[in-house]
Structure 1
Amino acid sequence: MSVKVSVVIPVYNPGEYIEDCISSLLRQSLPDDEYEAIFVDDGSTDATPARLDEIAAAYPHMHVIHQESSGWSGKPRNVGTAAARGEFVMYVDNDDWLGDEALERMYNYGVENEADVIIGKMAGKGRPVPVELFRTNRPRAHVSNAPLMDSLTPHKMFRKEFLESKGIRFREGRRRLEDHVFVVETYLRASNISVLSDYLCYYHIKREDASNAGFQRFDPVGYYKNLREALDIVEQYTEPGKLRDSMYRRWLRNEMVERLRGKRLLQLPEDYRQELYTEIRGVVTERFGPGVAAGMQPTQQIVAALVVDDRLADIEELARWESGIKPTGCLESLEWDGGALRVGFTAEYQADGEPMTFRIEGDKALLNPPLAQDTLDTVAGLGVSTVATVDAAKVDLVVRERTTAAEFFQPVDFTRERISSEDGTTFRLVLRAEATIAPETAANGAPLGDGIWDILIRISACGWTKEVRLGSARAEEVESGRRGALSGEPRRLVLPYWTEPHGNLSLDVDLATSRFDRDLKSLTPQDAILEDGTIELPVPIAMNRTSGSGSAALRFKALSGGGQFETVATLVPGPAGAALSAPLPDGLSTGDFWNIEFGLPSARRGKPRWAKLPVALGVAADGSVSTTTAAAAAKATKATKEAKKPAGPAPKRSLARRVASRIKRAVAR
């Protein structure tokens, strides 16, 4: 059978970080004879070469090529591509890894849509990845209709015949942005590009030692020389106009303006800051016409204008103001409705700890940066407006899995509200929103995986896009809606809870934590109803009349060690959540106490996960049953056992017996 996908991995001294990459390649759902991995060892000096030889010897579809160090990733990728036998080539870095079905899904999606380039959904662990690009599947994408320019790393799948026929290769040698040059050319020359967003394909990982190449401080002169090569590619394959300007805008925004804003600029040493600024200004004045900056947000346009007018001091002053701007959110409501969690919240920006305000001039809303009037006049003279685009502000709610950093947007309805100051000269912008998290479809139509999912809000307004955890600021009445709910088939518990110590909102999907056990501790003996041989207890699970009923289990354990019984329990809607009802088992011995455990459904376990209740049963000599606390039952059982012990100290063995016993143990040794 022909090889469908060749995975090319450039390798240089990854140490232990390569193990996750290797494991993910071996776990791929494609049959072994339908894909191959080609590790190109670029002169590693650690134990990696021997480890790769070991892998290649053990697995026929794993290969290794050793070569002298070339200094960067371009040559190893080209060498691996030349050796590839696959219909498609996938590039992976040696400290990243793939989702288990990534190759199969991306290949099938690419073939289905006749794509030359397939981009799989990415997650970033400690490093940023595109988010807007992966809001939805995009079977036929282009730089003109999708935010492809947000993703210029090479960690994608490319049709090999396309690369060869167009002569597209990586630039070699020690250089920056060789991936930008490569990827942009593929974007502009591909017959079709497909974006797969409903499965997490690629995990970008920041090493704990932060030694990834992309995290090292760069030489500004060389960096922006290499950036010009990417601009040359755009110029070669586009005509002057809106498309070219929009593509250029990506580098102006991400590689220039954003490096001169807020804390990112201020934390740089002064000499390096000046060198960086000088190189940025060189590119801006040489290559970009007015149409490039015109498409950016007002705050970004201001920075670009100050660069053109050579005003670094004003850029630094603006950065000091922007460094104090932070997003905030307040959780206003939380409730389950028809199998979905509804999350109501408000969001706005703060500046230096106070609600951010905008100036009002006539019918216009204006930014209020702390710049001198002559600077503002200069900015205006360059054709840059300080109008605040508040009417385009938006807020998103994102769920992010804590281990993998996989994240998904959730449906949000929001309104924009202006709250005017008393004198009417300024106003606050507050976004009032309600999001819906449906656990069985929240992962771009698929169920949320087991684990802990953190809840974040992301505010986009006037050129700032910032995110913050939701929940630490919340209304008092929210706690009453913080209940778990049973979801999916087979059933599993989805539990909203507050993190410690910050009190942010997270979701525990399928008992990844013991948080639900804590909620059960609020039960008291008075909550239990014993009637007609059954026991009924309220449990903190959200159910209503439309929820139907559910099944669970109870387990009764004798404190005297006399055995245990399990019985099927039923969950039905109760006055404040769910009511658990179960028959008392036959055979509960008299004169004993029985601990009660609640068997919670767990899809991943395939069997209940037991949680001890703080309520116990006591069975009297006449067979009557009552409830007490588990602590009181344990104390009473201990007292009974103590009372049954013989009085006085146990008789000591004779000296002869003790000596004989020691001799016997010695012989046994």
Structure 2
Amino acid sequence: MPVKVSVIVPVHNPGPFIEDCVASLLRQSMPPDAYEVIFVDDGSTDATPARLDALAAEDPRVRVIHQENSGWAGKPRNVGIDASRGEYVMFVDDDDHLGDEALERMYAYGIANDADVVVGKMAGKGRAVPVELFRANRPRAGVANAPLIDSLTPHKMVRRAFLDRIGLRFPEGRRRLEDHVFVTEAYLRAGNVSVLSDYVCYYHVRRDDASNISFRRFEPAGYFKNLREALDVVERYTGPGPLRDGLFRRWLRVEMVERLRGRRFLDLPEDYRRELFEEIHGVVVERFGPGVAAPLQPSQRVVAALVADGRYDDVVAFAEWEAGVGLAVDPEGVVWQDGVLRIAFAAELTHDGGPMTFPSAGGSPRWPPQDMAEAVRWLGADTVDRFDRTVPDLLLRERTSSAQYFQPAEVVRETVPAGDGSRVRLVLRATATVDPATAVSGGPPGEGLWDVWVRVGLGGWTKELRLGPAPRHHGRPAPPAGVVAGRVVLPYWTDRHASLALDVGHASKRLGLGRVSAGDVTVAEDRLRVVLPLYVPEATAVLLRLTGDRSGDLREVFGTLSPGGRLEAALPDTEPAGRTWLTTVCLTPDTDGARFHPLPFALHIAPDGVLVVPAPQPGGARHLAHGLRRAMYRALGRVTARGK
């Protein structure tokens, strides 16, 4: 079979952090003879070269190329491209890893859409990754109709023939932003770029030792010299006008303005801060016309204007002011309704711990601002003008992988008077819908723990916060677990952060089944009936298991769980008298790895019927005997003669 994909991994002293990468590459769902993995060892001095050579000796998919250290990842990637045999090449860093179906899905998507470049959804584990780009699949994307420019890391799948036809390779040597130069040209010259957003393909990982190259402090002069090379690519393949300005805006916003804001800027040493500011000022004055900064969000535009004017002290003062900006989120309701979980919340920006307020009256404060007070007034007025377009997002984020998914929401925007009425608060009230059948890109969430996050972009600040704290003071506990769409979904407030999370398929004790008492159970005409504290939107099959008091005794029978949590099942043959049977229930018998949950009652077969008694605790024979005696004296009215 021809090689479909060549995975190229530049390697330099990753130590144990390479193991997750290796494991993910070897367990890909793509047939083993359809892809290859090329590790390019860039002069590693740890045990990695021997580890990779041993791997290559065992697995025909793996090749290893050793070379002297080149100083950065550009040359190893180029060596891998030249050695590749695949129709597409996929670039992976040695401390990151892929989703199990990444290669298969990305290749199929690229072929289906005749894409020269395929961008797969990313999840950041301790690292920021693009969010807006992955709201939906984009089979035909370009820099003019999609925020492609937000994703300039090299972790893409690219058609090898396309690279050869245009002669595109990574800049080499010890330098920064080689990926920006490569990816920008690929975007601008590709016949088509496809964005796959319904599956997490790439996990971008911050190492526990925080030694990823991209996290090391850079030398400003060299960094912005390299950044100018990416701007050169844009100028080479676009003409003056809105498209070029929009592309340039990405570097102004991400690589310049954001580096000069809030605590990120203030926490730098003073001499480094000044050097960074001067280099950024030079690029802004030299390369960017007025159309680049004008569409920025308010706070970003303020910083850009101060930089253009060379006002270092004001940039520091503004950073000190906006270091106090935060987000407050108040959960207002979490309920099951019509088979979905509806989560209501309110969100607003804060400043120095209290609600942020804005000018209530219209007006056009002077631009550009002449001092800090003018800058804050202008920022407030412009933010109010944009408020009617602000939409908060609710995301489900899988706790282990950090994969996240947007949930649909309805929003109401409220302008609330503050103080004497000269200022207002901008409050967003939203109700998001989490459908267990479709919450993850149209499919159900996998088993595990999912945290609920709220994301708000307003005024040029993008803030994220877990939904909490738990509204205990409002008397609104989390709703019961739901048996919905073939899975058990338990909303709960976490113990540590008192924030909302969903347990999918893992919960046992938290389900609340222990609140059922033996007195809640009836047995009549060989049918067991009990109401469980569960949300059930429609009747579903469950599996009732009876485990006898003799080794190996086990009976199973299907029952029905109906709305209201009503469980009903016909009892299997449990003769002879004198036996006691513990009860457990599987709420999702059609699911792989489904769990049986213990019920807090047992069935004792008496000579003339069935007694429902408390289930014994582990090792609790005395407890069981006591329960049987109590049942004999107090629950004879619940005895039903079998067969009568």
List alignment gaps of at least 5 residues for structure 1: 642-669
The root-mean-square deviation of aligned C-alpha atoms, in Å, is 2.7
Give the CA deviation at 1:558: 4.5
From 591, 598, 623, the equivalent of 2:585 is 598
**2:497 matched residue in structure 1:** 502
From 394, 398, 405, the equivalent of 1:397 is 394
Give the CA deviation at 1:418: 0.6
Give the CA deviation at 1:596: 2.5
Correspondences of 1:155-194 after superposition (within 5 Å): 155-194=155-194
Corresponding residue SS for 2:360: strand
C-alpha distance in structure 2 between counterparts of 1:640 and 1:61, whole Å:
63
Give the CA deviation at 1:335: 2.3
Corresponding residue SS for 1:389: helix
Corresponding residue SS for 2:515: coil
Q: Which amino acid aligns with 2:533?
A: P
2:544 aligned with 1:554:
yes
CA 1:605/1:254 → structure 2, altered by over 3 Å: closer, same or farther? same
> Is this contact kept in 2: 1:334–1:478, CA < 8 A?
no
Correspondences of 1:184-333 after superposition (within 5 Å): 184-333=184-333
Relative to structure 2, which stretch is displaced further, 250-259 or 435-444? Answer: 435-444
From 581, 587, 599, the equivalent of 1:613 is 599
Q: Which amino acid aligns with 1:449?
A: G
From 522, 528, 535, the equivalent of 1:535 is 528
CA 1:56/1:319 → structure 2, altered by over 3 Å: closer, same or farther? same
**1:70 matched residue in structure 2:** 70
Corresponding residue SS for 1:230: helix
> Is this contact kept in 2: 1:493–1:602, CA < 8 A?
no
Corresponding residue SS for 1:612: strand
2:345 aligned with 1:358:
no
CA 1:366/1:615 → structure 2, altered by over 3 Å: closer, same or farther? farther
> Is this contact kept in 1: 2:574–2:605, CA < 8 A?
no
Q: Deviations over 1:545-592 (max 9, x none)?
A: xx1x11212333455879443333221122xxx111223443356556
> Is this contact kept in 2: 1:410–1:437, CA < 8 A?
yes
From 497, 500, 508, the equivalent of 1:514 is 508
**Bigger radius of gyration, 1 or 2?**
1
Corresponding residue SS for 1:149: helix
CA 1:639/1:450 → structure 2, altered by over 3 Å: closer, same or farther? closer
Corresponding residue SS for 1:301: helix
CA 1:331/1:377 → structure 2, altered by over 3 Å: closer, same or farther? closer
Q: Which amino acid aligns with 2:429?
A: R
CA 1:300/1:207 → structure 2, altered by over 3 Å: closer, same or farther? same
Corresponding residue SS for 1:252: helix
C-alpha distance in structure 1 between counterparts of 2:220 and 2:510, whole Å:
53
Relative to structure 2, which stretch is displaced further, 322-331 or 200-209? Answer: 322-331
**1:471 matched residue in structure 2:** 468
Give the CA deviation at 1:196: 0.9
Give the CA deviation at 1:516: 3.9
Correspondences of 1:88-107 after superposition (within 5 Å): 88-107=88-107
Relative to structure 2, which stretch is displaced further, 208-217 or 323-332? Answer: 323-332
Q: Which amino acid aligns with 2:404?
A: E
**1:417 matched residue in structure 2:** 414
> Is this contact kept in 1: 2:519–2:612, CA < 8 A?
no
CA 1:473/1:487 → structure 2, altered by over 3 Å: closer, same or farther? closer
> Is this contact kept in 2: 1:560–1:637, CA < 8 A?
no
Corresponding residue SS for 1:115: coil
Give the TM-score normalised by structure 2. Answer: 0.91
CA 1:82/1:624 → structure 2, altered by over 3 Å: closer, same or farther? closer
> Is this contact kept in 1: 2:171–2:178, CA < 8 A?
yes
What is the total number of aligned residue pairs between the two structures? 625
CA 1:148/1:573 → structure 2, altered by over 3 Å: closer, same or farther? same
Give the CA deviation at 1:469: 0.7
Give the CA deviation at 1:29: 2.1
> Is this contact kept in 1: 2:603–2:610, CA < 8 A?
no
From 571, 574, 579, the equivalent of 1:587 is 574
Give the CA deviation at 1:337: 3.0
List alignment gaps of at least 5 residues for structure 2: 629-644
Corresponding residue SS for 1:394: coil
Corresponding residue SS for 2:232: helix
CA 1:614/1:379 → structure 2, altered by over 3 Å: closer, same or farther? closer
C-alpha distance in structure 1 between counterparts of 2:558 and 2:510, whole Å:
20
CA 1:23/1:381 → structure 2, altered by over 3 Å: closer, same or farther? closer
> Is this contact kept in 2: 1:329–1:473, CA < 8 A?
no
From 613, 616, 619, the equivalent of 1:627 is 613
> Is this contact kept in 1: 2:40–2:67, CA < 8 A?
yes
> Is this contact kept in 2: 1:483–1:541, CA < 8 A?
yes
C-alpha distance in structure 1 between counterparts of 2:533 and 2:363, whole Å:
50
CA 1:121/1:381 → structure 2, altered by over 3 Å: closer, same or farther? closer
**1:654 matched residue in structure 2:** none
> Is this contact kept in 2: 1:358–1:365, CA < 8 A?
no
2:559 aligned with 1:573:
no
> Is this contact kept in 1: 2:369–2:375, CA < 8 A?
no
Give the TM-score normalised by structure 1. Answer: 0.88
**2:126 matched residue in structure 1:** 126
Corresponding residue SS for 2:563: strand
Q: Deviations over 1:360-403 (max 9, x none)?
A: 23x35989xxx997444589999x96765222222011111111
**1:448 matched residue in structure 2:** 445
CA 1:551/1:602 → structure 2, altered by over 3 Å: closer, same or farther? closer
CA 1:380/1:358 → structure 2, altered by over 3 Å: closer, same or farther? closer
**1:149 matched residue in structure 2:** 149
CA 1:591/1:107 → structure 2, altered by over 3 Å: closer, same or farther? closer
Q: Which amino acid aligns with 2:480?
A: R
C-alpha distance in structure 1 between counterparts of 2:193 and 2:314, whole Å:
42
Relative to structure 2, which stretch is displaced further, 397-406 or 440-449? Answer: 440-449
Give the CA deviation at 1:261: 0.9
> Is this contact kept in 1: 2:582–2:615, CA < 8 A?
no
**1:523 matched residue in structure 2:** 516
Q: Deviations over 1:138-167 (max 9, x none)?
A: 111111110001100010011111111111
